Every structure is written in C-alpha cells, then in structure tokens.
Structure 1
Amino acid sequence: MSSQQDWVLCRYCHTIVYAKRLARNHGVCPQCGRCGPLTAHERLAMLADRDTLQLLEPDVPSDDPLCFTDGEPYPRRLAQARQATGMSEAVVCARLSIGGTPVVAAAMDFRFMGGSLSAAVGELITLTAETALLECVPLVLVTASGGVRMQEGVVGLMQMAKTAQAMQQLDEAGLVTICLITDPTYGGVAASFAMLGDIVIAEPGARFGFAGPRVIAQTIRQELPQGFQTAEFLLERGFVDLVCPRAVMRERIGRLLSVGVGRGATGKAGPAERVVIRDPDQLAEQDAWQAVRRARHLGRPTTSDYLRMILDDFDELHGDRVGGDCPAIIGGVGRLGGESIVVIGHEKGHNPTDLVAHNYGMPAPAGYRKAARLMRLAAKWGLPVLTLVDTPGAYPGVDAELQGQATVIADNLRLMSALPVPLVTVITGEGCSGGALAIAASDRVLIMENAIYTVISPEGCAAILWKDSAAAPDAARALRVDARSLLELGVVDGVVPEPPGGAHADHAEAAALVRAAIRAELSDLTSLDPGRLIANRRARFRRFGGRPAHPTDSAVALADLGGPR
C-alpha cells in the first residue's frame, strides 16, 4: 500500500503526482511541464555523465563580519540552514564530465538562506573558477539565488566583483564558461557571474533579474509586463542564448562544450572539392538587372536553409546581451566537416509571413551587436567564422537610428579587422550597402553566381541619380552588381557556381556547392597564424582605391604627404 510520501502536489498546477515519477522526470511536472526546484546535488547529478561526479569540498569557513542580528544572531541562522539542508553553504562544487567533456562546476541551492551570495559562497565560486583555470577545463555554473546575503553587508557585496574577476581570468585564458540560470536568480548573483558565461542558458519559466517584481512594484509603483523577467521574456529581449528543457539539458550543454573545446572533430571529411571560380572569363556574362531579380527570388535558400544543409550540427544562440535579439540575423555554433565553427547570417524567409517576421532581412542594431558577440566568442574559443550575406540593407527606421545603427556597423568593421581567427563570407543573395559589409569584412569573400553586391539598391541609386526609380535596370548595369563584374573588380575572391536554373531550383545541390567552397577556403586559411591572418585581411581591404599594400607603404605614403618620418 502506498503512503502519503509516495505522492506530491505540483506547486504550479496543484496536480497530485507520483513522487518517483516526478524524480525520474528531474522535478518536471508531467501534467503542466513546469520545472520544480532541485537541490544543488540533484542539479549536478542531472548534468553529470554516469560515474563521473566527484564532489570538491574545500575548507571555506563562514564568517560573521558585521556581528549581525535581526532578531536572531547570524551564526544561529547559519546553523539552522546547515541543519535543514545538510549543506555547509549555499553552493556545491564538483568535477564531472558532461557529454564526455571534463569540467568543473558549482551549483547553488536556494534552500540555504535563499542561495544568497556570502563571502564563503563567493570564495567557493572563485575557487571553482581557479580550479578550472589551473586544470584548463571549462567551467559550468548553476545559479539559484535571491542576491547578496544582507547579513554580511558590503563584504557580501564585494563578492560580485571578486567572482566577476575570476570569470575574466577564464576569458583571458580562452576557457569555455557556461552559466545555467534556474529559478530564481536575482540581485548580486544576476549582476555578476550569472551573466558572464560565454553561453547563458535558462530553464523554462526561470525568473531572473536585478530587482525582483515585488521590489519594483513596491519601490516605484510601476506596472510590470506580462511574464516579466521569465526565461522566455529574457530570451525575446536578447539576454540569454537559449531556453532549454531539463530533459535535454545534459545533451545540449555537452554539445556546446564539445564545440567550444574542439572535441569530436573527426578529420574524416576528406579534402574539399575545389568548386570556386576565380577567373571571370569562366563565367557567362549576364544582364545586371536579371542578376538583381534572381538574387531576390524568394525561392533561394535562406541562411537557415544553408545551415541546416551544410553543417553537421548547429545550436542557435540568441541575443546581444544588451536588450535585443534581432530576427534579421541568426547565428550560433556548430560543425562543418567535423570541425567546430561559428556561423552568422542574414535571414529573410520564403513567404510574406517569414519576411515580416525577419524584417525582410534588414538588421536592427541588436542584430549587429549579436553578430559582434558571436565573433568575440569565436575569437575566445579559437574558432573560424562563416558569415552568409543576404540583405537589402540595414534597417533604416527611426528606432534603428536612435539605437546607433551607424555606430554598431562601424564597430563591427573595426572588430573584424582585428579578429584573430579565419573569416569567410559567402554572399548568397542580396548584398547591399553597409548592412551587408558589416558582417563581410573577411579574409575571403565569395559570391554565388546569381547573387549581387552593391553600395545601394539599384532602385535607390536610380531615385537619387536618375531622379526616377524606374531607371533601376540602368542603375544596376552602371553599378556592376553582378558576380562576374565583382570578380573582375576584385571585390570578391571567387564565385560559387549554382545548379542549372539557379539556387532556388535545387537547394540541396546549391548547399553542396556552398559547403565545398567554404571548406576549401577554411582549409587554406587555418594554416595561417593570427598575425598573418590579420595582416592579409587588412591588406585585402587596403588595396581598394590604392596601390597594393606592403608593410612600408603606409609610412612612405605618410612621408610623401608631409607627415612624420
């Protein structure tokens, strides 16, 4: 006969659930799907590969720096928390493997004084990060906290800076860091190490923020949006990379870790077929306006289509971590030919609904900030970057101007000029204006046979210079926007041929050609050290409108102009 302990009540939908079923489901209610609380030990066990979990128990005593009392002395509250939880503090540290990748991890436990950040908790988080640094392995942090422990005052507050410094040291060492946000994560934890991982993952429904809803409502009497500070709310606004169900959390984190550390590279893909055309005479001449119409064909593969077909696996990462997740640019990490890679591209869609959802492939500033964040991630992890260009231009709206559209494009161009990893761009459709160039200042720039690249749309050029947008065909020819002309001008390094009838006629064949072209370019570039990559990239763009660049050219030119010698 079953006892009352065999059954539990879901705190969200109030359904009675068999306790063992709930445990097998990692605390997720089978009725409503909401994530119930887990202890720190349960979190680590859920993430760890079988028989790999090894707890770390450094001797970090708790202190009472303020001799604090709020009706009960602080030491007594600590003793009560220890007795209730069986833990010495609000965090548990361990070595483990996730998806075959060895890591060190720290998991917080809300049961222990609300998972508050004390001097001891800050020390344990920092020691865990320093262990990762010493052993050159990734760090995984699981957060659950109400904020800094008030009983320790400013000493607790200092842990925010201390843990942030530890995360920065891992950044400097190029080590992978992943933060898993669980419910709830607020205050000083949210405003320090929780948001400093290379990848920030949130559980469904997890609440996250600096000031909690009750504090906001009581302090400034502000009405809060529906679903305020939930994981889904944060994903939409670009603060987390992804929201992941518990059932696949270990698999998802394991895959991200393996990409970040370069595990799983097969090296068995064989040499890439050389498909890129580098001689303009091997390309048939085509009318520039016809090229424009083909480049805009809604049936052409989009970035998401190409990523699905050319990559071995792909995890999309969201957001600029500033407040936006522009749908006109998508990106993430995956593998190409078994090798880890970061990918970024414009996204349009194939029908009116898709076009509206992705703002017609015209990025807002948040899109370019997202691209920049992913490029910095590539630099830290030492991964090549692939960008796919297909845009009528950066979004020209009032909101974009207010958010600094010109600034973010300029910042991206500067960032790409110094990125220490290989950069390859393929223009797959339209490549218009600075909105295209902002992710195309690469080592190698390829264009598909029926794609275009131009400073402005033919219609825009015609309206300005011809005073008549109907003169767009003439403007297209004058601008020499087609692939053959661009190869002659040296603006692109090669042309990727398309299947008979164009890329829209055979997506699979088009993707196979693009995949082969990218693999061949990366094969050439990955043999170069970062200094040579950067020097060659800068020389590539230095030559437009001037002489071929040599190391002494700038100094000589400056001297000729009367500058300092």
Structure 2
Amino acid sequence: MSERRSAREILDLLTDPGSLTEIPYPAGESRRDGPLGWQGYDAARARAAERTGEGESVVCGTAAVGGARAVLIAFEFGFLGGSLGERTGDRLVAAYTTAREHRLPLVSLIATGGSRMQEGMVALTQLQRVARQSALTREAGVAQIAVLRDPTTGGGWATLGAGADVVLALPGAQVGFAGSRVRPPDADPAAYTAEAQVAAGSADAVVAPGALKETLASWLRLLSPGTSAPTRAPAHGRGVVPASVPRALGGTGLPATGWDAVRRARSPRRPRAEAYLDAYFTSRVALAGDRCGGTDPGGMLCGFGEREGRTVAYAAQTGTATRPAGYRTAARLIRFADRLGVPVLTLVDTPGAANDAEAERQGAGAAIAEVFAAVAAARVPVTTLVVGEGGSGGALALAAPGNTWITPDGYFSVIAPELAAAILKRPPEEVAETAGQLRIRPQDLVELGVVRGVVDHADRPPPPVTSPTPPG
C-alpha cells in the first residue's frame, strides 16, 4: 500500500510554492441530511470537516507545477473516504470549466472509495456529470492527466482515472473498479494494484512520489497549449507545421539489389527506434498500453517529445513483429495528438504484424484497422520515416500517405521476399531474385512514388518538410 497523503499534502508536494489559487465553488442547495434524508449524514459531514479541515472531498484550484500551469483536483480521502457526492460534483464541474476557459491541462490527484452511499443514486449520477465534463474538455483540445493515489476505486477510477488521456500511478496504490470490501472473497489482491493496471495497459506508468513533480511537470510542459505556439493551431490542427524528418543514423549509400536492402534492414547493427528517438528529441515522455487489456513494450514506443522547442508526438516500431496492443496504443497516441493539435512522427520498422494465433484472438486485423483509420482521419500532419523493415500492411498502417521518407537502411514490401517466393512456389535459392522483382529498395520506392525521398546519413541536413499533398 502506498503512503496516504491528504489533499493539501499532495498539493504541497507537487505545486510551486504560493502558486495555488482555489476555484470558487457554487454554494448549492442545503438539504437536511442530504437528498435522501439519511439520518446522521449532516453530523458525519461535520465530523469529516472538523477532522480534515475541508468542506468536501475534493480541493480544486489552479497552480504551477515546475513552472507549468494547470488545474488540479485533489481528493481528500479523510473526508468520507474521498467519496463523490452532489457537492463534490459541483466542484468537479467548476474545475473542468476552468480548465476549458483558460485552456489549462487538468490534473486529477485521485484518492477515493467511490460514490457516497448516503446520497444514493444522486451521488452515482455525478459520474455522468464528470463524464460529460471530460468529453467537453477532450473536444476542446485540453489534456487530462490522472494521478492514481491509494485507493482509486469505484466511479472515481472509471471516470476521472481511466478516462484521462495520461494515467500515472503511485507505487502500491490500490486501483480497481471494485473496492476491497466488495470484491469476491477469492480475488487476488495483486490484480487491484497500480502495477497490475500498468501491466494490463490501463495506466501509463508507476511513478515514485519523489519523482512525481518532475514527471508531471514534463507532461504539462509538453501538453500545455501555450508551450509550443509554432506547432499548434486552434482550428483542429489545420496549419500545424509538420514534424521534421529525422536524420538517418545508419549506413550510407544505397543498396545495389533488393536482397541487399533486406539484409541491411535486418542487420542487428542497424540503429533502432530508441536510437532515433534519443537523437531526435531533447526530452520525451512515454504513453503505454492500449486501454483494453494489452501492452506491446517491445514492439511499439509511443509518447510526446520536445524537438527544437516544439512538441511532437511519436509512434515508433522497434524492429519486431508488432502486437495488436501496439497498434491500438499507436492509434490512441495519434488520436490524442490530433485533439491537441500536435504533429505526429511515426517510425516504421517491423517485419510485419504479429500473426500467431494469440494475435488473432487479440484482434490483430481490427487493431491494424484502427491505426489506418487514425492516420487517415488525422487533421494534424503525420511525418513517417522508414528506418528498417517495412513489412506489408503491418508497416504501411503507420505510414503517412504523401509524407513518408526512408533511410538507406530501409525497405518497403507488399510481402516478405521469402513468403513471396513460397506463394509463387519458387525454391529458396530464388528468394534474392524475388526481392529484386518486388522493387523494394529505397531508390525503387522513390521512383514508384511510394516514398517522397531517401534521407541521407547524419552528416547531411535532413530534407525540408512541407505540408504534403494528399494522394488522389
């Protein structure tokens, strides 16, 4: 179990000294013992207020975190278990409204046991209010970040927590829809932890308390609308400057044959995604998980980074067969960046989509379709660089139509040469010839109009990027 802090203590830990300004709360109608007339409810609230010094289970305000301003919602678990009631809902609505009006990211520091029983269904319907406010905030292009404290259960997890764009968690925090007193008696407690939620793709990272302020500040700087004006445009991404094309980090010169291109792309010495991301960004933060039970940490890297003072989102394949969860995470990243008006960089490098039986059970086709759709629907520019293998539709899904580039170490093919030869019933010794017939070399792809150009080695400047003309 993680260390429990009060609302004021967590705000003091994260916010810059003297920067917190509380949001005015609506008074609301006063009814004796609440909407249900629950005997003793007024007395319980009075005791909670005396014990915590708070008038409700949340404290909401604007503040700076490492110099980046945000709207913060801090739950006070000591006030009736951080439960959500009607007056809690009023405060949450005020916080979301303030975030939209001032275009400030919204950070929820959650510690709640769920909805308040003494208010019955009136309390539960506050979740609908929160969901509506979250949807309006999402449509406004304002980022939402959740920090899961101990505990984060019930409707608070299912709305403010799991519904956020970025989900961070404190180590050992109890996280799950079912609280400890309502789970099946044989339930495994380890399944209801922050660590388990990250492993299941429902949260992005577990962050130690000592690193939380710095981590949160990094996210806020990258996701705040005012931090990178040249990158962003208010009209749903129109006019956003595309991400620049990364420099090539590997070999120089073009491959002589198709099979040479394949061997270069498959070489273990060729630079992979991590090397490209490290060289491209001065700093970056990672998104992880597809939000429906899966992760693909070895096959897809997603997140946001700073490039020459601008925020750029990235989705990068790592050279392995990409799992369905990897594609869904990339689609999530692209849709999120599109809402914020942030350009996207994709790095293509995969022999193809994972095609084992488990991948099919996990919905490989639907996951790849999600990425195709996210790229096609993006209103912000997407820039693609093929840094290694471009294996069939599993690679093409991440490629931007009209704005895809390639390094001398890359190739793009409708199918792997070995599989093409097998389908054509050719012997293994004809695989190399088949590779040539497929015309998969970088120079072939330029001639065919599949890519815009070949990015040369690192001692030459990358080509200038202009907004591409979509293919007819």
| Cα deviation, residue 331, structure 1 | 0.9
Where does residue 255 of structure 1 map in the other structure? 218
Contact kept in structure 2, 1:423 and 1:443, CA below 8 Å = no
Q: Could you report, residue by residue, the CA deviation over 1:119-175 in whole angstroms, capped at 9, with x for unpaired residues?
A: 111111111111111222221111100001111110011000101111111111111
Q: Partners of 2:394 and 2:88 in 1: how far apart? A: 45
Counterparts of 1:36-115 in structure 2, within 5 Å, are 36-61=3-28, 63=31, 64-69=34-39, 73-115=40-82
Contact kept in structure 2, 1:296 and 1:429, CA below 8 Å = yes
1:422 aligns with 2:399: no
Contact kept in structure 1, 2:26 and 2:91, CA below 8 Å = no
| Cα deviation, residue 490, structure 1 | 0.7
1:170 aligns with 2:116: no
TM-score in terms of structure 2 length:
0.91
Amino acid at match of 1:215: V
Q: Partners of 1:214 and 1:77 in 2: how far apart? A: 20
Consecutive unaligned residues in structure 2, runs of 5 or more: 231-242
Instruction: Compare 376-385 and 433-442 and name the one that shifted more.
Output: 433-442
Provide runs of 4+ in structure 1 moved above 4 Å: 262-267, 271-276, 282-285
1:400 aligns with 2:359: yes
Structure 2 residue aligned with 1:517, among 444, 462, 467?
462
| Cα deviation, residue 214, structure 1 | 4.5
Secondary structure in 2 matching 1:383: coil
Amino acid at match of 1:402: R
Larger Cα-atom Rg: 1
Structure 2 residue aligned with 1:473, among 425, 432, 441?
432
Secondary structure in 1 matching 2:50: helix
Where does residue 432 of structure 1 map in the other structure? 391
1:289 aligns with 2:259: yes
Structure 2 residue aligned with 1:380, among 339, 344, 351?
339
Amino acid at match of 2:292: V
Contact kept in structure 2, 1:424 and 1:442, CA below 8 Å = no
Where does residue 240 of structure 2 map in the other structure? none
Q: How many percent identity over aligned positions?
A: 36
Q: Partners of 2:330 and 2:47 in 1: how far apart? A: 48
| Cα deviation, residue 466, structure 1 | 2.7
Classify 1:80/1:193 alpha carbon distance in 2 versus 1 (closer, same or farther; 3 Å).
same
Secondary structure in 2 matching 1:314: strand
Structure 2 residue aligned with 1:183, among 150, 162, 167?
150
Classify 1:304/1:274 alpha carbon distance in 2 versus 1 (closer, same or farther; 3 Å).
closer
Amino acid at match of 1:238: G
| Cα deviation, residue 250, structure 1 | 1.5
Classify 1:273/1:162 alpha carbon distance in 2 versus 1 (closer, same or farther; 3 Å).
closer
Contact kept in structure 1, 2:69 and 2:220, CA below 8 Å = no
1:338 aligns with 2:298: no
Amino acid at match of 1:243: V
Structure 1 residue aligned with 2:197, among 234, 243, 253?
234
1:130 aligns with 2:97: yes
Contact kept in structure 1, 2:173 and 2:194, CA below 8 Å = yes
1:412 aligns with 2:357: no
Structure 2 residue aligned with 1:118, among 73, 80, 85?
85
Structure 2 residue aligned with 1:313, among 263, 266, 283?
283
1:454 aligns with 2:417: no
Where does residue 233 of structure 2 map in the other structure? none
Contact kept in structure 2, 1:201 and 1:242, CA below 8 Å = yes
1:304 aligns with 2:274: yes
Q: Partners of 2:191 and 2:328 in 1: how far apart? A: 23
Q: Partners of 2:366 and 2:423 in 1: how far apart? A: 24
Higher relative contact order (CA 8 A, sep 6+): 2
Determine which structure has the larger helix proportion and give its number: 1
Where does residue 158 of structure 1 map in the other structure? 125
Contact kept in structure 2, 1:432 and 1:456, CA below 8 Å = yes
Q: Could you report, residue by residue, the CA deviation over 1:498-554 in whole angstroms, capped at 9, with x for unpaired residues?
A: 3xxxxxxxxxx4xx66xx537x32xx23xxxxxxx6xx32xx2xxxxxxxx3xxxxx
Count of aligned positions: 453
Aligned Cα root-mean-square deviation (Å): 2.3
Q: Partners of 1:256 and 1:335 in 2: how far apart? A: 11
| Cα deviation, residue 274, structure 1 | 11
Contact kept in structure 1, 2:228 and 2:311, CA below 8 Å = yes
Where does residue 205 of structure 1 map in the other structure? 172
Secondary structure in 2 matching 1:216: coil
Q: Could you report, residue by residue, the CA deviation over 1:316-366 in whole angstroms, capped at 9, with x for unpaired residues?
A: 111111111112111100011221100111114xxxxxxxxxxxx111211
Classify 1:384/1:117 alpha carbon distance in 2 versus 1 (closer, same or farther; 3 Å).
same
Classify 1:445/1:273 alpha carbon distance in 2 versus 1 (closer, same or farther; 3 Å).
closer
Classify 1:65/1:436 alpha carbon distance in 2 versus 1 (closer, same or farther; 3 Å).
same
Contact kept in structure 1, 2:321 and 2:351, CA below 8 Å = yes
Classify 1:341/1:57 alpha carbon distance in 2 versus 1 (closer, same or farther; 3 Å).
same
1:362 aligns with 2:321: yes
Structure 1 residue aligned with 2:446, among 470, 477, 487?
487
Secondary structure in 1 matching 2:125: helix
Contact kept in structure 2, 1:203 and 1:245, CA below 8 Å = yes
Q: Partners of 2:369 and 2:140 in 1: how far apart? A: 28
Q: Partners of 1:101 and 1:476 in 2: how far apart? A: 52
Q: Could you report, residue by residue, the CA deviation over 1:453-494 in whole angstroms, capped at 9, with x for unpaired residues?
A: 001111111111134344321210111111111111111110
Classify 1:364/1:140 alpha carbon distance in 2 versus 1 (closer, same or farther; 3 Å).
same
Contact kept in structure 1, 2:266 and 2:388, CA below 8 Å = yes
Q: Could you report, residue by residue, the CA deviation over 1:208-257 in whole angstroms, capped at 9, with x for unpaired residues?
A: 11113542223xx4x42x62221111111111112111112122111111
| Cα deviation, residue 413, structure 1 | 1.2
Q: Partners of 2:389 and 2:247 in 1: how far apart? A: 21
| Cα deviation, residue 266, structure 1 | 9.9
Classify 1:214/1:468 alpha carbon distance in 2 versus 1 (closer, same or farther; 3 Å).
farther
Structure 1 residue aligned with 2:208, among 233, 245, 248?
245
Secondary structure in 2 matching 1:45: helix
Q: Partners of 2:323 and 2:273 in 1: how far apart? A: 17
1:463 aligns with 2:430: no
Where does residue 503 of structure 1 map in the other structure? none
| Cα deviation, residue 76, structure 1 | 1.5
